[in-house]
């Protein structure tokens, strides 16, 4: 095998996951135990410069989930996220700093429910209201959904209707008896459901692509600040209620530094992981980046090698 044939990886972790998943399984170099910190230490905010491996961590978690079935993952990308419709979801009439975290909680509860319903060990206190909500979300095309943009576009549409009578009273009504969807009632029911579930397995809801199609518009930065705040609050609620779930946010460091929010640094200190490949050493061969390169070369060649 020539040097050109050695598979060192792809620029995008998503492509690496689909084309060469073994690179993320056997060729993943985790010098500082980042995966263990996420799984075992309640870390949820993964920070690092572009190309530092944030998406690779998300992709590896997905592959580990597929291979050992000991936890579930759902990964969502904000590539084409509709920020303006998102901000128009009418859950609150308060200022953006209050309204947007509530909107994110609503969207992320639905995203979490997408994962929960796939878990055969998931148990909840069934009643007509909850069953009606789940059925309504399925009928409206929100559940299941692999795209946060789809959830936002449907739920922010004025034509979005559910059978309010079913949700409130648990009684079925005919198609002609449908009334305008009361999003506050749905939100309250989702909170009641998702924060009381009992599950054997852990569920990780991974949010990636925060820098995709990002402009300098203030609504985007306000929305991303609200996302991190909402994830922090939701993770606290999951933990308090002993629900095996966590929202994971992958964010570029330079974008995070531009975000507002009074608790930003607290979240970073308590729940953040900073990916940093820089090492100020005299022996370059002892650096983690060189070890990663050699690890992937060994994986391609099937034998130990030092390509330097």
Decide which of 79 and 129 is more confident: 79
Share of the chain above pLDDT 90, in %: 53
Within a domain: 308? no
Counting residues of the chain whose pLDDT is more than 70, the rounded percentage is 89
- In the chain, the number of structural domains is 1
Cβ contact 279:285 at 8 Å: no
Structure tokens at 232: 């922090």
Q: Is residue 126 part of a domain?
A: yes
Q: Using one digit for the tens of pLDDT, what is the confidence trace for 73-124? A: 999 999 889 999 999 887 877 887 889 999 999 999 999 999 998 999 998 7
Domain interval for residue 83: 3-301
Phi-psi region of 136 (alpha: psi -120 to 50; beta: other; left: phi over 0): alpha
What is the pLDDT, as a whole number, of residue 177? 45
Span 259-279, pLDDT tens digits: 988 889 999 999 999 998 888
Residue 159 domain flag:
yes
Whether residue 181 lies inside any domain: the answer is yes
Asked, for residue 172, whether it belongs to a domain, the answer is yes
- Domain assignment present for 306: no
**Joined tokens for residue 117:** 């319903």
Is residue 111 one of the residues assigned to a domain? Answer: yes
Q: Tokens 């969207």 — which residue?
A: 107
Nearest to 244 by CA among 187, 196, 190: 196
Question: Which residue from 9, 11, 15 is spatially nearest to 51, judged by alpha carbons?
Answer: 11
Average pLDDT, the chain: 86
pLDDT for residue 164: 41
For residue range 27-75, list pLDDT tens digits in order: 999 999 999 999 988 899 999 999 999 999 999 999 999 988 789 999 9
Q: Which residues contact 159 (CB under 8 A, 6 or more apart)?
A: none
* pLDDT for res 262: 80
pLDDT-derived band at 126, boundaries 50, 70, 90: low
172 vs 10, which has greater pLDDT? 10
Q: Rounded to whole angstroms, how far apart are CA atoms 4 and 270?
A: 43
Task: Name the DSSP letter for residue 3.
Answer: G
Q: How far is residue 226 from each of residues 96, 98, 233, 262, 280, measured CA to CA in Å?
A: 9, 8, 10, 11, 36
Residue 101 lies in a domain: yes
């Amino acid at each position: 095998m020539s040097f050109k044939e050695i598979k060192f990886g792809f620029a995008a972790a998503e492509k690496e996951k689909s084309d060469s998943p073994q690179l993320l399984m056997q060729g993943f170099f985790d010098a500082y135990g980042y995966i263990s910190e996420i799984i075992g230490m309640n870390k949820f905010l993964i920070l690092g410069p572009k190309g530092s491996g944030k998406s690779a961590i998300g992709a590896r978690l997905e592959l580990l989930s597929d291979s050992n079935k000991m936890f579930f993952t759902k990964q969502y990308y904000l590539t084409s996220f509709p920020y303006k419709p998102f901000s128009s979801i009418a859950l609150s009439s308060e200022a953006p700093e209050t309204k947007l975290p509530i909107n994110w909680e609503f969207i992320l509860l639905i995203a979490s429910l997408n994962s929960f319903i796939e878990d055969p060990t998931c148990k909840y206190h069934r009643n007509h209201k909850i069953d009606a909500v789940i059925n309504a979300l399925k009928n409206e095309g929100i559940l299941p959904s692999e795209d946060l943009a789809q959830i936002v576009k449907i739920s922010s549409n004025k034509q979005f209707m559910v059978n309010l009578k079913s949700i409130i009273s648990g009684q079925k009504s005919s198609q002609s008896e449908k009334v305008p969807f009361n999003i506050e009632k749905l939100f309250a029911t989702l909170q009641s459901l998702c924060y009381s579930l009992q599950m054997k397995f852990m569920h990780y809801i991974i949010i990636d692509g925060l820098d995709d199609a990002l402009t300098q518009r203030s609504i985007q930065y306000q929305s991303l600040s609200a996302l991190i705040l909402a994830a922090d609050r939701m993770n606290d609620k999951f933990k308090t209620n002993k629900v095996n779930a966590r929202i994971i946010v992958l964010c570029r460091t330079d974008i995070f530094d531009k975000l507002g929010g009074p608790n930003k640094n607290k979240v970073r200190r308590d729940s953040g992981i900073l990916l940093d490949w820089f090492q100020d050493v005299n022996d370059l061969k002892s650096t983690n980046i060189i070890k990663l390169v050699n690890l992937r070369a060994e994986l391609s060649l099937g034998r130990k090698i030092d390509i330097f």
